[in-house]
Amino acid sequence: MRLTPIRVGEIQLNNNVFLAPLAGYTNYPFRRLCKGYGAGLCYTEMVSAKGLKYGSENTKELLYTDEREGGCAAQIFGSEPEIMRMACENEALAPFPIIDINMGCPVPKIYKNGEGSALLENPKLAEKIVKECVKSGKTITVKFRIGINEDSLVTEEFAKRMEGAGASLITIHGRTKDKIYAGDVNFAEIAKAKNAVKIPVMANGGVFSNEDAERLMKETGADGVMVARAALFDPQIFCALTGTPTESRKEMFEKQMKWTRQVCDERFTTVFMRKMAAFYVKGTRGAAAFKDRLFQAQTPDEILSITREIWE
């Protein structure tokens, strides 16, 4: 795809290929891996603004980063403008110059709380949230969907409101809330938003190859693409999109394992890396049997032993 530098507020990024925030997956080691494979910007898992206000240790753990990562963005969710601003000003978010506001999460619990995709139905509140967050001095971006369902598409108007409220970039997932991650991406809706605003527009949805990314860019006119689920199956999709040199699946996995063990305890490392290994072996001959063994592994070393059989 066509790579270009992209400017987000006053921040210049090397390229226009981003890793999406993925709940349960985009922790520090995984982001660092994807950044090394060429991602221009990586986002943390979404974290609760209220969790930050009340000092949740789990929330703070989701925000772990260090200088080796080379910079990333944090994503927060919530529905109370003042608490959202306080979150942006929280010490835990100090390492993150870019804060993204989640206005697209379709999970019922989030939606019923008036957060995530529910804000698509309350654009005035969404504007207030962005305006308050901008007061924090952080560079604010917004990720949202094209609507709740096909009968209530709001992309163009919502995009204009987010720009007017002070967002420096928007990312649009080209599906409605009720589609979750299924169905075709609505290129036309993303294109409407792109033509309606002057800030950069990132297109999200359905990118599993360089060809997918090129089509998404061509059909929408977007300034870049955001990769989500495809990165879980192969983080080296960023190599394909950016021309970064690849390495073997074994080298990739063992690098991620090493970094995960450095910052997480053994129990988390075991559970998390079992999940990642299961993604990575998809399509491999005998994958089902390997997965059965992987999920019986009780230590990181057992996981490494099994994966070496697969990739050596």
Instruction: Report the candidate in 101, 95, 55, 49 with the shortest Cα–Cα distance to residue 75.
Output: 101
Token pair belonging to 262? 């450095």
Nearest to 95 by CA among 119, 117, 124, 69: 69
Residues of the chain by 3-state class (helix, strand, coil), percent to 5: 50, 15, 35
Q: Taking CA 208 as the corner, what is the angle to CA 202 and CA 212, rounded to the nearest 5 degrees?
A: 65
Q: Give bridge partners of residue 226 from the DSSP assignment.
A: 18, 204
Query: For residues 71 and 214, what is the distance between their CA atoms, to the nearest angstrom?
Result: 26
Backbone angles phi, psi at 120, to 5 degrees: -65, -25
| Nearest one of 172, 17, 192 to 102, comparing CA atoms | 172
Strand partners, 171: 143, 202
> Which residue is catalytic, options 34, 42, 72, 105?
105
Looking only at the bridges linking them, the beta strands covering 73-77 and 41-48 are parallel
Q: Residue 281 has which token pair?
A: 């072996």
The secondary structure element, H or E, covering residue 13 is: strand 11-13
List Cα–Cα distances, 124 to 81, 129, 130, in angstroms. 11, 9, 10
- Whether 239 is catalytic: no
For the record, the structure tokens of 215 come out as 């089509």
Residues annotated catalytic, as ranges? 105
